[in-house]
Amino acid sequence: MAYQRLQVSSSVDVIPSDTVPIPDPATFVLSGAANMSVAGTLTDVGTSFTTAGIQKNAILYATVTGIAYFVKSVDSDTQLTITPAVVAASGEIYMIYNAATLGASLYVGTAGNTSVEMASMRNNSTQNAGLDPSVYSNVPNGSFMPILVTRVNASNTTSSNIKALF
């Protein structure tokens, strides 16, 4: 008897955001600790952003405060302009990815509602224009969501410890 099983080669801890998609782990560029105490700016004196190959609209995850950002510009070897202009912290741990996922399945660790943008909504934007994100209610602890998701929205998501599976 054959059975279907989930084949996972990598995962990313998801930071819910109403604007920033889940990053593609294959496009990971670098990580570090930086000063993010000035709104809209990340400063890391111990790196070289220009030679690292960070692209405009790269996805930046601030893992201590749990905030997802887009890179608006690489200003110098040590400074990025980011959006939203929300202050994180000095000594914030960050991870930068150059692209968003085309779709990932989710593992939901802690029960609650999960609001997602599905891959079909993004890939067929003209066909699905005006569709609201899908909200899955009462997702139990330790559940797999076998749908292709591109973003977990902060709005209407009460579940936590979410991992994107690739």
- pLDDT given for residue 3 in this prediction: 60
- Residue 37 is encoded by which pair of tokens? 């105490």
- Taking 50 as the pLDDT cut, the residues of the chain under it are 123-130
Beta-carbon contacts of residue 100 (< 8 Å; ≥ 6 apart): 21, 22, 23, 24, 59, 150
The overall pTM is greater than 0.85:
yes
| Domain locations in the chain as residue ranges | 11-17+101-165, 26-97
* Tokens 């599905």, residue located: 118
Domain 26-97 has what CATH class?
A: mainly beta
* Burial tier of 9 (Cβ tally within 10 Å: 0-12, 13-18, 19+): exposed
The residue count of the chain comes to 166
The helix (H) or strand (E) run that includes residue 148 is: strand 143-152
- Residue 56 is encoded by which pair of tokens? 């405009």
Dist. CA 139–CA 142, nearest whole Å: 9
The amino acid occupying position 23 is P
Look at the alpha carbons of 66, 67, 71, 76 in this order and tell me if their dihedral is positive or negative. Answer: negative
- pLDDT given for residue 119 in this prediction: 87
Dist. CA 80–CA 120, nearest whole Å: 32
51-80: string of b/e by CB count within 10 Å (b at 16+)?
eeebeeebbbbbeeeebbbbbeebeeebbb
